[in-house]
């Protein structure tokens, strides 16, 4: 199972209380399920409004279960930014 780094930005970082953390996940859906399990409070709610980058590429409207993760990859969690 690939080991990936999930990086949190802005409100997601505040809700997680940490800037990044490692996860073992095959797909983006798996990684986000693990994030929700580890952080069931505010971060789980923030994720509903977030966009995601996987290894620098936008996920867009693709189903999270179809986005495969690579060993050593990165998932960026991007909440809406004020003014942006």
- What is the distance of C-alpha 1 from the center of its chain? 17
Cβ-contact 84, 55 below 8 angstroms: no
- Condensed to tens digits (0 to 9), the pLDDT of residues 31-60 reads 999 999 999 999 999 999 999 999 999 999
Opening angle at CA 45, ends 49 and 8, nearest 5: 70
- Length reported for the chain: 84
Q: Is 39 helix (H, G, I), strand (E, B) or coil?
A: coil
Give me the pLDDT at residue 31, please.
98
Q: What share of the chain is helix, strand, coil (3-state, %, to 5)?
A: 30, 30, 40
Kindly indicate the confidence band of residue 30, based on its pLDDT and cuts at 50, 70 and 90. very high
């Amino acid at each position: 199972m690939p080991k990936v780094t999930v990086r949190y930005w802005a409100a997601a970082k505040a809700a997680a209380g940490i800037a990044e953390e490692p996860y073992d996940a095959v797909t983006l859906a798996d990684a986000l399920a693990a994030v929700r399990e580890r952080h069931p409070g505010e971060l789980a709610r923030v994720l509903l409004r977030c966009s995601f980058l996987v290894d620098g590429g936008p996920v867009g409207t693709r189903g999270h279960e179809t986005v495969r993760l690579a060993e050593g990859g990165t998932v960026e969690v991007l909440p809406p930014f004020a003014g942006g």
